[in-house]
Amino acid sequence: MFDTRQEAGQRLAEKIAEAAPENPLVLALPRGGVPVALPVAQALGAPLDLALVRKIGMPGNPEVAAGAVVDGAAREVVFNDEMLAYAGLTQGDFAGAVEEKLAEIATRRARYLGARAPQRIAGRTVIVVDDGIATGATVRAVLQALHKRGPIEIWLAVPVGPQEVIWQMRGMTDRLFFLEAPRVFQAVGAHYRQFDQVSDDEVVRLLRHAWEAEDKRGKRT
């Protein structure tokens, strides 16, 4: 049981710092992943950016992921080809949904990051951070997209997730950091004493705090 997202992030940060990643970049999944990722970025002296991703739901059943749109310098769409084949659908059937999700991502990027450009992925050890994993669909989409962008390695850091899903993530990452992986899993929030929704304003505040630290490091060097 974690007290807060920040406390879980501090515990993850200790483990990740010991691994000494080369040229690290921390990518948080907003909104809940940002307070977990900030202590990781601080411990590593690394930049903090966002992995903006929106799920594309199946027609008539939006909770089931047909795919996801992942933001970045080059936006990418990742589909669950097995799910599409089973339903007799093609990627072209989701053209309207893709445009809708791209617009949502653009709105979120403007809200959180303003005109700040995405961090470069190539040549970095990219550490993806969230406050927990349930099905893992969103994280899988992010990891698939990142593999195409030339990172040195991709690491995943989450405080908690179901044991089966955590093991599946091992095949998609170069290193995996977690604190709990219960066999019987109900929800991410059940593992936190305090699990209030993270507001947009809080995301912006935490990012600005991280950017101020980056600017100070840049002046010192």
Domain ranges of the chain: 5-51+119-216, 54-112
Mean pLDDT of 39-48: 96
Residue 221 has pLDDT above 50, yes or no: no
Long-range contacts of 43-46 (CB under 8 A, 24+ apart): 43/13, 43/14, 43/16, 43/17, 44/13, 44/16, 44/17, 44/127, 45/217, 46/21, 46/127
| pLDDT for res 161 | 96
List 24's β-bridge partners, or say none.
125
Mean pLDDT of the chain: 92
Could you tell me how many residues make up the chain? 221
- Residue 218: pLDDT band by 50, 70, 90 thresholds? confident
Mean pLDDT of 74-100: 89
Please give the model's pTM, rounded to 2 decimal places.
0.90
- Residue 34: pLDDT band by 50, 70, 90 thresholds? very high
Q: Could you confirm whether domain 5-51+119-216 is CATH 3.40.50.2020?
A: yes
CATH: 3.30.1310, 2.20.25, 1.10.10, 3.60.15. Which one for 54-112? 3.30.1310
Residue 206 has pLDDT above 50, yes or no: yes
| pLDDT for res 78 | 85
